Amino acid sequence: MPLIQITQTPGLSDRVKRETIAAVTEAYAMATGKNPDSVWVTINEIPRQQWGVGGEPLG
């Protein structure tokens, strides 16, 4: 069972999350020949205050 994890800042609507999960599942299944029913996708939302780029926090 493949597991694809997406980590990002919050803000996507539920509709966009559903579309993203569907698109990532389809792309992975096509690229690997795996059954899409066996592909798991998670979207982890981490607040901007907990991200840092170039030594500086985003939030």
Count other C-beta atoms under 10 Å from residue 6's C-beta: 14
3 state SS of 27: helix
Higher confidence at residue 48 or residue 59?
48
**Cα torsion at 57, 49, 16, 13 (round to 10°)?**
-140
Count other C-beta atoms under 10 Å from residue 11's C-beta: 8
- Tokens representing 57 are 């926090």
Q: What class is the 3-57 domain?
A: alpha beta
Q: Which pTM was predicted? A: 0.87
49 has a pLDDT exceeding 90: yes
**Cα torsion at 45, 48, 49, 54 (round to 10°)?**
120
Q: What digits encode the pLDDT tens for the residues 2-24?
A: 999 999 999 999 999 999 999 99
Mean pLDDT estimate for the chain: 96
